C-alpha cells in the first residue's frame, strides 16, 4: 500500500508494447505500456519507487483504429482526441478489464472532487511515435485529503474544453475511456498535490 503523499510529487510514465513474437520483415514494432511511480516527500527525498502496467480498454483500441484508418466514424476529430486524466477512487479490480467503459469507470468512482483535468499546456505534446498528456491534481479541488486514489483513467474530452479545465466524469458528453492504471491506496493529504504524466509510445527499432 502506498502512503499519503502530502506535498509529494508523483511521476507516472507510460509506454505501450506488443509481444516480440510479432515480427515484420524489417523492423520489430514496439507498442507497450508501463507506469513508473516516483513519490517524494516535502524535502524532495524519494520515499517510493514502483513500476506497474496500464490496461488499454476496448474503447481505447477502437479509438486508435478510428484515428488511424479512414472509416465512417466522426470520433475522434482534431479537437476532441485523448487529452484528459482522471483520478479514480475505488477498487482497481472493479475496472481492471478490457470491457471497462467510461460509464463503468464513472459509476464505480466515489472520489470527492472534480476528478478529471484536460491537458494543461497548449494541447497534447506529440513527437514521431509519442504523445504526452499532463495533469496536476490538488486537495481539496480534485480529491479530499483522505480519499484513497485507486487508479488513473486516461480519457477523451468530447467537448474539446480549454487547456487545464477541470470537469466531472470521464464519460460525460459521450467521451470514451482510453486506458486505466492501478495506483492502489494513494492519498493526497491536506494541501497535497500530484503531477501525472502519461506517455503513449509506439516506435519501431528502425526509428
pLDDT for residue 5 is more than 50: no
pLDDT in tens, 133-154: 888 888 899 999 899 988 999 9
Burial class (CB in 10 A: 0-12, 13-18, 19+), 171: buried
Kind and range of the H or E element at 139?
none
Collapsing DSSP to helix, strand or coil, 136 comes out as: strand
Q: What are φ and ψ of residue 104, in 5° steps? A: -60, -45
Q: Quick check: helix, strand or coil at residue 100?
A: coil
Length of the chain: 207
Which of 3-12, 68-77, 144-153, 174-183 shows the lowest mean pLDDT across its residues?
3-12
Rounded to whole angstroms, how far apart are CA atoms 119 and 121? 6
State which H helix or E strand residue 52 sits in.
strand 46-56
184-205 pLDDT tens trace: 778 888 888 888 888 777 765 5
- pTM surpassing 0.85? no
The pairing of strands 149-156 and 82-89 is antiparallel
More confident residue, 203 or 84: 84
Neighbours of 175 (CB within 10 A): 25
Amino acid at each position: 500500500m502506498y502512503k499519503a503523499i502530502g506535498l509529494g510529487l508523483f511521476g507516472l510514465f507510460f509506454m505501450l508494447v506488443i509481444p516480440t513474437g510479432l515480427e515484420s520483415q524489417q523492423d520489430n514494432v514496439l507498442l507497450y505500456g508501463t507506469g513508473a511511480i516516483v513519490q517524494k516527500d516535502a524535502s524532495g527525498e524519494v520515499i517510493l519507487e514502483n513500476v506497474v502496467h496500464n490496461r488499454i480498454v476496448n474503447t481505447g483500441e477502437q479509438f486508435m483504429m478510428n484515428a488511424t484508418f479512414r472509416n465512417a466514424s466522426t470520433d475522434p476529430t482534431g479537437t476532441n482526441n485523448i487529452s484528459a486524466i482522471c483520478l479514480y477512487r475505488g477498487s482497481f479490480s472493479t475496472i481492471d478489464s478490457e470491457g471497462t467503459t467510461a460509464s463503468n469507470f464513472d459509476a464505480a468512482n466515489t472520489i470527492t472532487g472534480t476528478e478529471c483535468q484536460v491537458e494543461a499546456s497548449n494541447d497534447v505534446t506529440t513527437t514521431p511515435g509519442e504523445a504526452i498528456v499532463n495533469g496536476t491534481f490538488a486537495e481539496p479541488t480534485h480529491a479530499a485529503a483522505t480519499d484513497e486514489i485507486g487508479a488513473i483513467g486516461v480519457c477523451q474530452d468530447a467537448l474539446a474544453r480549454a487547456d487545464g479545465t477541470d470537469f466531472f466524469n470521464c464519460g460525460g458528453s459521450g467521451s470514451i475511456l482510453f486506458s486505466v492504471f492501478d495506483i492502489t491506496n494513494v492519498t493526497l493529504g491536506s494541501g497535497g498535490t500530484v503531477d501525472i504524466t502519461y506517455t503513449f509510445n509506439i516506435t519501431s527499432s528502425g526509428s
